[in-house]
Amino acid sequence: MEQQRVVLLRRSFLAGLGLAAGGLALGLAAADAEAAPPPAPGPATQGLRTGLFLHLANDGMVSVVCHRSEMGQGIRSSLPVVIADELGADMARVTIVQAVGDKAYGDQNTDGSRSVRDGYEKMRRVGATARTMLVAAAAKRWRVPAAECVAEGHAVHHAKSKRSLDFRELVADAAKLPVPDEKTVALRPNAELKRVGGPLPLIDGPAIVTGRAQFGADVRLPGMLTAVIARPPVVGGKVVRYDGARALAVPGVKKLVDLPAPKGGAVGFQPLGGVAVVADTTWAAMRGRAALSVEWDHGPNAAYDSATYREALSQAVRAPGKVVRKVGDVDGAFAKAARTIEAEYHVPHLAHAAMEPPSAVAKVDANGCEVWAPTQNPQAARTEVARALGLDEAKVTVNVTFLGGGFGRKSKPDYVAEAALLARAMGAPVRVQWTREDDVQSGYFHSVSAQHLKAGLDADGKVGAWLHRTAFPPIPSTFDAKQKTPSEGELGLGVLDLALSSPNVRVEACDAPAHVRIGWLRSVCNIFHAFAVQSFIDEIAHARQADPRDVLLEVLGPARKATLAELGVEKVPNYGAPIEQHPVDVGRLRHVIERVTEISGWSAARKAGRAVGLAAHRSFLTYVAVVAAVSKDALGKVKVDEVWLVADAGTVINPDRARSQMEGAVVFGMSIALHGAITVKGGAVEQTNFRDYPVVRSPEVPQRIHVELVKSDAPPGGVGEPGVPPVAPAIANAVFALTKQRYRELPLRRQGV
């Protein structure tokens, strides 16, 4: 079988197209994007305003630009297929080109599980526009109505006359036609999309398994040096003094560079500062850093202690906060309740701990700065490099390599700016390499949180009143140091969009100042909101001595699309999607709960005494339910035996990649449930590496993880993140079923589980 060609072009793909011997290039720019100046027109782009995502060469080869980053989720194997299917192209004649960072592409941030749900229709319209022009060119040549022509198999066919023309025979004529408005071109019926929703190859698989794929640390440039950096162990800290002579005496060390401390009251994406050791090799740079013996002024965050802060968060949620959601009379309902149940839940800071620590290569010359980096957000990297160097963004090029995992860490480009600053200082290309210890101790952290929930039950045991208080240092604090109240966007991750059957609901947001860099991590606030809500519903079920599945369905209420009035809010952030297109659909959430309990044999398992736990959550416009089964090993430690997950993500382009993402979400969620905890003392992170910040390893992974995707023609939802939130509460609920002890704090291993 012919292997697909995969090409990564560097400085300017679009300019390269201009050197072709003619062709048809077109694309789709986001309407709200700040468009970059188009490339100088050449034969391939002459007369066409857009040339971003698709290029048809005169030889019939199709080049499809992937503007999102590939970090294992298979986006390069998914979005280009949408274009090719809509176009009617033969994938054996399709080349995938990785986009550089440029606002002309619209949103390039590979974060928030948005690549498919934001790009599906846009990419279809890219393919449909080209198809419309090819069909028009063929119809004009044959003097037949375009409606009688069909594009498939890399050719246009006219069934009545049994004539066909290969794409290569039509490109020149098509390029002379006016480009239709992509908003008005007709899309194929879904049934004609031959590959979408079916088995698709992992395009980059061969390169990855043979070692040909280029990740960030693989980039090598002539004369390149390597740097590691001694960063302040406490955010806001500064260097007092260091032993430069000892560091420079290490063989291979070339220079020590003082990096500036962040300016202003908030860190944002700025580097933390410190001392960079630049050397011939990574090992020499690491040895030089070890010899620095830096003395630090730790600054205003030196008093931060996560154990003390945990108690401060508890006090915050035990007092009234800012009301952000209100339905009915909660206080009156509590006064009339036959019984009340209260609980408090805690989740610590978490590190991203991607397999590949951050790295970036930069070179600076008279023309500007060029960067190679495993970045989730090349546009933000471009902006931050330009800011750090005082350059116009037009003089910064950011090339995107493969990412060895990201989880949100690599959308924050501080490490890219570090490489640019050092390349300018050295007058030579420099690779900045973070070690695992750097990543664990000096990164951005998922926010620590406390959640207080209270339910008032009526005489029949139904929830007549619901109170939820949430406290956590908000992500906006990283960009505005004065921010300490959860933002609307963060509250929209599991509390503002939580449909409940109770007629009396109040949600309150409580203040919590930040003392470390708070950043988004895979699933973000859904992690602690789902843990609290789904654990609490399980507690209600136990108090009623009822089946947790039945109580969960009862608390959610009947199948319906929840209105804003029912939710008690003026609007729901809804992951940036229109609520009309992606409503809070209780029916879909109920369905995944019913289905996962069916395929897991929930009722039979409980009757047989098997310890199973259930949780479900809507996030990133996708509905996921999880059942986990646990037992004890020979040493008396709890182990996860089996997990069932059912997801309704709407239209799924690449089912194999979606299942893979859900399987990965189970393992990621297990790491959060069992191990994940960043603790801070004296303002500095105490963990250093996987030895004290463990993640789930192969022996802990259940031998059976069952994933079922609901077949749906609804608009695409997210896939990369929605599988994570229900995993930890499902495991915690299963542990309660096994031990009859309720754990309201993560991770479970730190509590002897």
Q: How far apart are CA 437 and CA 458, in angstroms?
A: 52
pLDDT higher than threshold 50 for residue 535 = yes
Asked whether residue 405 falls in the same domain as residue 483, the answer is no
Q: How far apart are CA 660 and CA 196, in angstroms?
A: 16
Asked whether residue 531 falls in the same domain as residue 611, the answer is yes
Q: How far apart are CA 633 and CA 637, in angstroms?
A: 5
Asked whether residue 267 falls in the same domain as residue 310, the answer is no
> Could you write out the DSSP letters of every residue in 288-340?
HHHT---EEE-GGGTT--HHHHHHHHHHHHTS--EEEEEES-HHHHHHH-SEE
Mean pLDDT for the stretch of residues 403-424: 98
Among residues 433, 468, 490, which one ends one of the domains? Answer: 433
| Residue 8, in any domain of the structure | no
Q: What was the pLDDT predicted at 513?
A: 97
In the DSSP assignment, the letter for residue 363 is: E
Mean pLDDT for the stretch of residues 516-530: 98
Q: Which two tokens stand for residue 660?
A: 């893979």
Asked whether residue 291 falls in the same domain as residue 314, the answer is no
Asked whether residue 694 falls in the same domain as residue 658, the answer is yes
Other C-beta atoms lying within 10 Å of the C-beta of residue 182: 20
Q: What was the pLDDT predicted at 26?
A: 54
Asked whether residue 172 falls in the same domain as residue 59, the answer is yes
| Polymer length of the chain | 753
| Residue 6, in any domain of the structure | no
Work out the mean pLDDT of the chain and round it to a whole number.
93
Q: How far apart are CA 425 and CA 277, in angstroms?
A: 12
| Residue 75, in any domain of the structure | yes
What's the pTM? 0.93
Q: What was the pLDDT predicted at 24?
A: 58
| Residue 4, in any domain of the structure | no
Q: What was the pLDDT predicted at 58?
A: 87
pLDDT higher than threshold 50 for residue 19 = no
pLDDT higher than threshold 60 for residue 22 = no
Contact predicate 649/718, CB 8 Å:
yes
The CATH code of the domain that includes 382 is: 3.30.365.10
Residue 23 pLDDT grade (very low, low, confident, very high; cuts 50, 70, 90): low
Asked whether residue 574 falls in the same domain as residue 700, the answer is yes
Lowest-confidence region among 8-17, 457-466, 644-653: 8-17
pLDDT higher than threshold 80 for residue 235 = yes
| Residue 7, in any domain of the structure | no
Asked whether residue 202 falls in the same domain as residue 334, the answer is no
Q: What is the pLDDT of residues 366-399, one digit of tens each?
A: 999 999 999 999 999 999 999 999 999 999 999 9
| Residue 238, in any domain of the structure | yes
Q: What was the pLDDT predicted at 51?
A: 53
Asked whether residue 370 falls in the same domain as residue 483, the answer is no
pLDDT higher than threshold 60 for residue 175 = yes
In the DSSP assignment, the letter for residue 703 is: S
Asked whether residue 331 falls in the same domain as residue 271, the answer is no
Asked whether residue 553 falls in the same domain as residue 421, the answer is no
Q: Which two tokens stand for residue 397?
A: 């090029």
Asked whether residue 318 falls in the same domain as residue 279, the answer is no
Question: Quick one: 161 exposed, middle or buried, by C-beta within 10 A (0-12, 13-18, 19+)?
Answer: exposed
| Residue 721, in any domain of the structure | yes
Q: State the residue for tokens 């949180």.
A: 449
* Count of domains forming the chain: 3
Q: What is the pLDDT of residues 198-220, one digit of tens each?
A: 999 899 999 999 999 999 999 99
Other C-beta atoms lying within 10 Å of the C-beta of residue 501: 18
Angle (CA) 662-667-671 rounded to 5° is 140
Q: Kindly give the pairing relationship between strand 295-297 and strand 94-98.
A: unpaired
pLDDT higher than threshold 50 for residue 30 = no
Among residues 209, 234, 262, which one ends one of the domains? Answer: 209
The 3-class SS string of 724-750 reads CCCHHHHHHHHHHHHHCCCCCECCCHH
Of 748, 742, 482, nearest in space to 640 by CA: 748
Q: State the residue for tokens 């999309």.
A: 193
Residue 38 pLDDT grade (very low, low, confident, very high; cuts 50, 70, 90): very low
Of 125, 97, 98, nearest in space to 110 by CA: 98
Q: How far apart are CA 175 and CA 42, in angstroms?
A: 12
Burial 54-83 (b: 16+ CB within 10 A, else e): bbbbbebbbbbbbbbbbbbbbbbbbbbbbb
Angle (CA) 548-551-552 rounded to 5° is 85
Output 119 or 31, whichever has higher pLDDT: 119
Q: What is the pLDDT of residues 556-572, one digit of tens each?
A: 999 999 999 999 999 99
Contact predicate 384/416, CB 8 Å:
yes
Q: How far apart are CA 668 and CA 644, in angstroms?
A: 15
Other C-beta atoms lying within 10 Å of the C-beta of residue 493: 26
Domain range for 372 is 216-299+358-433
Element (H, E) at 54: strand 54-57
| Residue 718, in any domain of the structure | yes
Residue 294 pLDDT grade (very low, low, confident, very high; cuts 50, 70, 90): very high
Q: What is the pLDDT of residues 316-335, one digit of tens each?
A: 999 999 999 999 999 999 99
Q: What was the pLDDT predicted at 33?
A: 30
Q: What was the pLDDT predicted at 265?
A: 83
pLDDT higher than threshold 80 for residue 5 = no
Among residues 175, 209, 243, which one ends one of the domains? Answer: 209
Q: What was the pLDDT predicted at 16?
A: 41
Give Cβ neighbours of residue 118 (< 8 Å, ≥ 6 apart).
Answer: 107
